[in-house]
């Protein structure tokens, strides 16, 4: 095992962070300065995030990926960027040359990449879900707050017009108080194997382009096998967070934000089967949220793997639902249908939408930036000292917590009573082990305070 410990400087910064001492970002930007950005995870979505950052004005100075095959496109696109496989080495060697990072790795390495960067004083953009477990999400938010760093989770829908319209329509009382929300997605479906999957017994050699030890990172030791990557890691609990982790932070974002849901009182799940190492083929999860001020309790239901919620009674018989992922908000006086990223929101049926005419509702909320990748524009703006992005770590940690709590019920098949004050499941204490993780040897310094 060839893990690389944090540098002495990194350890000192980690100790300072644990003592809640504020360390400011490494430089102050002038009006025309460009953010020097490094990518941690440069293939697939990582390449897309780097492209977004570049088109929004960032200067790509370093590329870090454990797999040369996955990174090939980015390496060709930015040939002058310095190349690394270990982000700890990159951050040590290029400390003065990097202002910010994007972290677009498998879920289990979101926290290590972002935390290591923030301990070096770097701003951090992290793909969804923000982290692999609840403790990591809270810790990233804490460190970003203490060190006054810009942060953002990659849920582009949060910078759409749709969530703002949804908020304004509900504030105007168009459908009354929302009491129930349903979500539906086809994931995992044919996207990756899940349910009935067993750990393979054969141990083929890892491809020469892949550093398997670094790919494992904080996860427990196991031999390489092609059943884990690419994307297939999502179904394995050591690495991914299943269908809920893949899609939940996207489609559940708008209602979570608009309704100010916070943390649930309980979560329960019906699943296709229970496996120790992998998620089920499908799940139906029910969250119960308490009243918030004068707003009533809200029931939230999640359906994945092809399990469909009841067809909304207000939807016209000849009108199709979105094919892949969507949401329905049920109010006391009406119903709203939302697509995947909340880029479209409509009152149903269409006749009622026209009757209520939501175009007359005043637009009271600030609008997102115009042009390419508004969410990335928000991040780059925040890196330069501007207004925080909407999906900054303070907000993203709350949303990620809500999403990941669903997996407590999925992994046990039991109803979970959740205590937000103690951050524990009170009736099934054995699931509390899933709220954090013990990192593999060589990565412990990133988990101080666990």
Q: What is the SS3 string spanning the chain? A: CCCCCCCHHHHHHHHHHHCCCCCCCCCCCCCCCCCEEEEECCCCHHHHHHHHHHHCCCEEEEEECCEHHHHHHHHHHCCCCEEECCHHHHHHHCCCCCCEEEECCCHHHHHHHHHHHHHCCCEEEEECCCCCCHHHHHHHHHHHHHCCCCEEEECHHHHCHHHHHHHHHHHCCCCCCEEEEEEEECCCCCCCCCCCCCCCCCCCCCCCCECHHHHHCCCCCCCCCCCCCCCHHHHECCCCCHHHHHHHHHHCHHHHHHHCCCCCCEEEEEECCCCCCECCCCEEEEEEECCECCECCEEEEEECCCCCCCCCCCCCCCCCCCCCEEEEEEECCCEEEEECCCCCEEEECHHHHHHHCHHHCCCCCCCCCCCCCHHHHHHHHHHCCCCCCCCCHHHHHHHHHHHHHHHHHHHHCCCEEEECCCCEECCCHHHHHHHCCCCCCCCHHHHCCC
Tens of pLDDT, residue by residue over 72-87, are 999 999 999 999 999 9
Predicted confidence at residue 214, as pLDDT, reads: 98
Tens of pLDDT, residue by residue over 313-354, are 999 999 999 878 999 999 999 999 999 999 999 999 999 999
Architecture of the domain spanning 8-158+374-392+437-447:
3-Layer(aba) Sandwich (3.40)
Predicted confidence at residue 235, as pLDDT, reads: 97
Predicted confidence at residue 9, as pLDDT, reads: 35
Predicted confidence at residue 31, as pLDDT, reads: 66
Predicted confidence at residue 24, as pLDDT, reads: 54
Predicted confidence at residue 337, as pLDDT, reads: 98
Residues of the chain with pLDDT under 50: 1-23
Predicted confidence at residue 118, as pLDDT, reads: 98
């Amino acid at each position: 095992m060839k893990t690389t410990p944090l540098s002495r400087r990194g350890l000192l910064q980690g100790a300072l962070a644990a003592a809640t001492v504020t360390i400011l970002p490494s430089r102050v930007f002038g009006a025309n300065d460009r953010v020097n950005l490094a990518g941690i995870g440069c293939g697939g979505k990582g390449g897309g995030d780097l492209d977004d950052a570049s088109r929004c004005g960032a200067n790509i100075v370093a590329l870090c990926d454990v797999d040369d095959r996955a990174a090939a496109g980015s390496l060709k696109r930015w040939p002058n960027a310095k190349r690394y496989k270990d982000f700890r080495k990159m951050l040590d060697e290029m400390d003065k040359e990097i202002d910010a990072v994007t972290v677009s790795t498998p879920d289990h390495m979101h926290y290590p990449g972002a935390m290591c960067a923030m301990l070096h004083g770097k701003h951090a953009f992290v793909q969804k879900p923000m982290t692999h477990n609840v403790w990591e999400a809270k810790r990233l938010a804490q460190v970003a707050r203490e060190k006054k760093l810009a942060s953002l989770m990659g849920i582009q829908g949060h910078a759409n017009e749709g969530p703002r319209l949804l908020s304004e329509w509900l504030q105007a009382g168009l459908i009354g108080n929302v009491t129930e929300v349903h979500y539906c997605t086809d994931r995992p479906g044919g996207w990756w194997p899940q349910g009935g999957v067993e750990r393979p017994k054969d141990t083929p050699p890892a491809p020469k382009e892949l550093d398997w030890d670094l790919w494992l990172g904080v996860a427990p030791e196991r031999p390489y096998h092609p059943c884990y990557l690419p994307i297939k890691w999502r179904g394995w609990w050591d690495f991914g967070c299943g269908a809920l982790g893949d899609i939940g932070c996207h489609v559940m974002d708008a209602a979570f934000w608009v309704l100010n849901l916070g943390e649930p009182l309980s979560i329960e799940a019906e699943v296709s089967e229970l496996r120790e190492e992998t998620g089920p083929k499908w799940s139906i999860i029910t969250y119960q949220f308490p009243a918030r001020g004068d707003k009533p309790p809200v029931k939230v239901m999640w359906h994945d793997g092809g399990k469909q919620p009841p067809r909304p009674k207000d939807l016209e018989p000849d009108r199709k639902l979105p094919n892949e992922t969507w949401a329905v908000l049920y109010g006391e006086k009406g119903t709203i249908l939302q697509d995947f990223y909340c880029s479209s929101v409509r009152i149903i049926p269409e006749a009622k939408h026209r009757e209520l005419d939501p175009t007359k509702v005043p637009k009271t909320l600030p609008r997102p930036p115009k042009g390419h990748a508004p969410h990335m524009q928000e991040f780059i703006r925040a890196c330069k000292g501007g207004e925080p992005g909407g999906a900054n770590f303070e907000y993203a940690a709350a949303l990620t917590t809500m999403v990941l709590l669903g997996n407590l019920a999925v992994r046990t098949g039991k109803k979970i009573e959740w205590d937000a004050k103690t951050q524990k499941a009170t009736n099934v204490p054995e699931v509390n082990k899933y709220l954090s993780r013990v990192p593999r040897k060589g990565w412990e310094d990133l988990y101080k305070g666990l």
